[in-house]
């Protein structure tokens, strides 16, 4: 018996949901209002998932996706949804999870906004992972959310592999020589960084071929990967050009390096920075989980005295360089958030990893800090931190959502917490 019907909800992770025969069916790439018939149903992580479906009636929320790889590529689950509907659904999911009604600000650009892409280089193809299939790869022709230049980057890589005979990675056997091509673009500077992640040291000949095929790069890296994990990380070695590229966000410049995280949507980043700034009070600010100093340096430029704490020493080095090139009053130190004495700051900004604050939440409760600005890409972790800990000392005074991730169900939340009387 074929299962089908009208999708009437969206799950917290952005899948269409319909009720059929008293059971829920989750349908990736389907939206509220669609009528579908499932072709292939599997149980995954305790829920029924339609891996393929026939679209019988289009939801009025639908639009024609721009990308030819939509529906198989794991990058964009919501490209078939009109942008207004994407924003409404993000707001709804955030409210359902946290109980907070927040305004949402859309991304100023919907195409070409991502400043980084990690193309996996495999024996099955070069591109991005298939949705829901860790061993499947979409052999990419273009990527409209990343860059118009994607075909050029991929052509250079294919030419390089053909000339050198280096073997692409085999996901099943976990063997091969070239694993990822990472490309980063400074959207406001036009600078390009190319970083090849490989399991072998390059010979002199290979390096010459590498430089030849990627001569357009302002910064060219070869990263040696010693482990077999499937991620785009290795020991980065500069091959040619500059060690960093720059991104410019209004009056602030940020350095970008292969080993450091940078917010992925350059066009929406000013909205995020201004939301944080709007909620920041007083003079002295602590940027906790500071990364490369994205918030701290922006706030320093606006006259705040900034201290920052981050556990990754390389990110701290970058943050201090970012402070220096922008001439701002900000000092970043290596440390764990949960081991930081909070001191007499007027505002603490926290932007923890997906798992949330954990022990650091109690430090904030015990501190005398009046204002906490919580930046979160995981509303469930924020909810837990707030309900279990922060609520003892802080009330929620405001929140704004910034859409850093168009065509996906993700959103960045900035929540203003004020100490209770």
Whether 55 contacts 46, CB under 8 Å:
no
Smallest gap from residue 316 Cβ to ligand SAM (A): 9
List the one residue from 89, 93, 292, 342 that touches ligand SAM (CB under 6 A).
292
Chain center to CA of 380? 17
346-375 residues in contact with ligand SAM (CB under 6 A) are: 351, 353
Structure tokens at 48: 């029924």
Q: CA-to-CA distance for 199 and 19, rounded, in angstroms?
A: 47
Verify binding: residue 176, ligand SAM, rule CB under 6 A.
no
Question: Which tokens belong to 128?
Answer: 């991005």
310 part of the interface to ligand SAM, by CB under 6 A? yes
377 is catalytic: yes
Of 19-27, 141-149, 170-178, 335-343, which part binds ligand SAM (CB under 6 A)?
335-343
156 binds ligand SAM (CB under 6 A): no
CA distances from 340 to 53, 289, 356, 361 (A): 51, 11, 16, 11
Taking the CB of residue 231, how many other CB atoms lie within 10 A of it? 12
Maximum C-alpha span of the chain? 69
Tell me how far apart the alpha carbons of residues 334 and 293 are, in angstroms, rounded to a whole number: 12
| Cβ 378 to ligand SAM shortest distance, Å | 9
Say if residues 3 and 41 touch (Cβ distance below 8 Å): yes
Q: Is 412 in the site for ligand SAM (CB under 6 A)?
A: no
Judged by CB under 6 A, does residue 378 bind ligand SAM?
A: no
* Per CB under 6 A, 290 contacts ligand SAM: yes
Distance CA 270, CA 278 (A): 12
Asked if residue 263 binds ligand SAM (CB under 6 A), the reply is yes
Span of 49-57, 62-70, 303-311, 366-374 interacting with ligand SAM by CB under 6 A: 303-311
At 246, which helix (H) or strand (E)? Answer: strand 245-249
CB nearer to ligand SAM: give 94 or 298.
Answer: 298
Cβ proximity to ligand SAM, 107 vs 294, nearer residue: 294
Q: Which residue in the list 67, 73, 143, 377 is annotated as catalytic?
A: 377
- Enumerate binding residues for ligand SAM (CB under 6 A): 261, 263, 289-292, 294-295, 309-312, 315, 336-338, 351, 353
| Residues with catalytic function | 377
């Amino acid at each position: 018996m074929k299962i089908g019907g009208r999708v009437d909800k969206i799950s917290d992770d952005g899948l269409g949901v319909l009720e059929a025969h008293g059971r829920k069916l989750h349908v990736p790439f389907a939206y509220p209002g669609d009528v579908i018939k499932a072709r292939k149903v599997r149980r995954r992580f305790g829920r029924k998932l339609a891996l393929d479906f026939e679209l019988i009636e289009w939801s009025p929320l639908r639009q024609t996706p721009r990308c030819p790889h939509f529906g198989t590529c794991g990058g964009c689950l919501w490209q078939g949804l009109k942008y207004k509907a994407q924003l409404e659904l993000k707001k709804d999911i955030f409210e359902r999870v946290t109980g907070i009604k927040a305004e949402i600000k859309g991304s100023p650009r919907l195409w070409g906004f991502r400043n980084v892409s990690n193309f996996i280089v495999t024996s099955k193809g070069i591109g991005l992972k298939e949705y829901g299939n860790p061993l499947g790869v979409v052999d990419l022709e273009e990527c409209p959310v990343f860059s118009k230049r994607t075909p050029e980057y991929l052509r250079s890589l294919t030419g390089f592999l053909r000339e050198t005979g280096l073997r692409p990675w085999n996901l099943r056997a976990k063997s091969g020589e070239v694993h990822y091509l990472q490309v980063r673009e400074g959207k406001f500077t036009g600078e390009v960084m190319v970083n090849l992640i490989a399991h072998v040291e390059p010979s002199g000949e290979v390096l010459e071929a590498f430089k030849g095929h990627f001569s357009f790069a302002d910064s060219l890296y070869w990263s040696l990967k010693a482990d077999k994990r499937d991620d785009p990380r290795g020991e980065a070695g500069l091959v040619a050009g500059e060690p960093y590229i720059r991104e410019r966000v209004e009056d602030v410049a940020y350095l970008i390096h292969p080993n450091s995280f940078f917010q992925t949507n350059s066009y929406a980043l000013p909205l995020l920075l201004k939301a944080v700034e709007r909620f920041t009070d007083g003079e002295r600010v602590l940027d906790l989980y500071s990364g490369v100093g994205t918030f701290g340096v922006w706030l320093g430029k606006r006259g705040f005295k900034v201290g920052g704490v981050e556990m990754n020493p390389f990110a701290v080095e970058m943050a201090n360089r970012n402070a220096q090139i922008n001439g701002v009053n900000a000092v970043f130190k290596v440390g764990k958030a949960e081991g930081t004495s909070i001191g007499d700051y007027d505002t603490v900004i926290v932007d923890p990893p997906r798992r949330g604050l954990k022990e650091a939440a109690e430090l904030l409760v015990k501190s005398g800090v009046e204002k906490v600005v919580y930046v979160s890409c995981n509303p469930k972790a924020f909810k837990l931190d707030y309900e279990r800990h922060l609520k003892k000392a802080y009330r929620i005074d405001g929140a704004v959502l910034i859409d850093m991730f168009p065509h996906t169900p993700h959103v960045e939340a900035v929540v203003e917490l004020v100490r209770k009387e």
